[in-house]
Amino acid sequence: MTGPLASLKIVEFSGLGPAPLAGQLLADLGAEVITVDRRAAPANPTDINRRGKKSVVLDLKSDTGLAAAQRLIAASEVLIEGFRPGVMERLGLGPNACPERLIYARMTGWGQDGPLAQTAGHDINYLALTGALHAMGNADRAPVPPLNLVADYGGGTMFLLLGILSAVIERGVSGKGQVVDAAMVDGVPAMMGLIHAMLAQGKWSEARGTNWLDGGAPFYRCYTCACGGYVSVGALEPQFHALLLENAGLPAEHQASQNETAHWPERHALYAKAFAQRRRDEWSETFAGSDACVAPVLTFSEAQFHPHMAERGTFITSGGVMQAAPAPRFSRSAAGAPNPPSAVGAETDAVLEGLGYSAAERRAITG
């Protein structure tokens, strides 16, 4: 393996959502990630979260399967699980049953404790309770969920990764592992420092669609073009706003009153009318190379072909499936191209052999 995490051994208990993405991103950067699965299945090149991982199928309800899982955990440095609180304990695989040096990373929406800890939820629910969802969408409509990028993957996956790598660093000092409780309802507010600051300063209104970053500002929103496509406008700074006005043929006198909110509603209409006069790709040409912070709104299928994305190799194709290349990038310990997802359970025999099981013992475990 190559990549900055090539020395890290991780066991991931297979599940859905942000925990598998965390395992994928760690594998992308070179970590050895072995997933523990319930049953075998054919290779699926569209299951991108499995790329670069190995898979072992174990029956955790059998004594031999549980013992194999315990041996695998003992040979690992990090464990990732995304079940409801208490599930791993009931299996006999909770933190107290694991080696002291193990970093035990737990991914949930609500956290390991609290009144909602045992209830189901999804990205939209976690956003709702943190206040973030209320700020998303148009003023005259119900809030709009931002896919599942903000709670699941922003407040979930990324904070799980931060917790794991922080615990790895701390273990280098203490020699001990610890439990990482990564909860989406903790991670989302942690990303909202700027918004909380503006609230405290009286610079943010809780009325949706009236603020700097929520589409209220005419210079920070999307507009419909003549072709039905869209452009994104993000000209927040005065110097960038001036370029927006110049290139879009909008009144130069708007510069002096850019942040006077009383003018924003009428300017929404004026700017919308201006952008509706030309096609999206025409606007792209107009603003190409400009600091006006205007970019076309591309579809998923278009994004990979944009010249900037193409030159950087931001997207790759593996097994005929378009997906993101490993990120971030490193100057010395560059990660190699990720291996496509293997069949679920494909590495069971090899993993068990690596744990010291004889051929007869492996047959007893795998049936």
Q: Which of 309, 328, 348 is the last residue of a domain?
A: 309
Rg (CA), the chain: 25
Count of structural domains, the chain:
2
- State how far the Cα of 126 lies from the Cα of 67, in Å rounded to an integer: 36
Please indicate, yes or no, if residue 317 is contained in any of the structural domains.
no
- Could you tell me if 137 and 234 lie in one domain? no
The pLDDT-based confidence of 2 (bands split at 50, 70, 90) is: confident
pLDDT band at 211 (very low <50, low <70, confident <90, very high): very high
Encode pLDDT of 296-333 as tens digits: 999 999 999 999 999 999 999 999 999 999 999 999 99
**Average pLDDT over the chain, rounded to whole?**
96
pLDDT tens readout for residues 279-300: 999 999 999 999 999 999 999 9
Answer yes or no: is pLDDT of 233 > 90.
yes
Taking the C-alpha atoms of residue 58 and residue 65, their distance in angstroms, rounded to an integer, is: 5
The answer to whether residues 70 and 161 belong to one domain is: yes
Q: Which residues are catalytic?
A: 122, 152
Residue 142: give the domain boundaries: 9-191+337-366
CATH number, domain containing residue 246:
3.30.1540.10
Task: State the sign of the Cα–Cα–Cα–Cα dihedral 256, 258, 260, 265.
Answer: positive
d(CA 123, CA 156): 9
